[in-house]
Amino acid sequence: MKMELKGCKVLVSKMQDVDPWLHLERNMTNEEYMKAVLQAKEHISAGDIF
């Protein structure tokens, strides 16, 4: 997961180099994000999403 975070930071940095007005911020906590991911996985397992 640390590698993914590092990759995201590099991507954001590159995007800001292209557009210095770009400002990204979180709209949910890590806990909220993980809960949403688990819910999505449950829907996929149930066949609701494919």
**Count of structural domains within the chain:** 1
Which range of residues forms the domain containing residue 12?
2-46
More confident residue, 5 or 42: 42
Average pLDDT, the chain: 78
Model-level pTM?
0.49
Tell me the helix, strand and coil percentages in the chain, rounded to 5.
Answer: 70, 0, 30
Contacts with 50 (C-beta within 8 Å, 6 or more apart), sequence order: 44
More confident residue, 24 or 36: 36
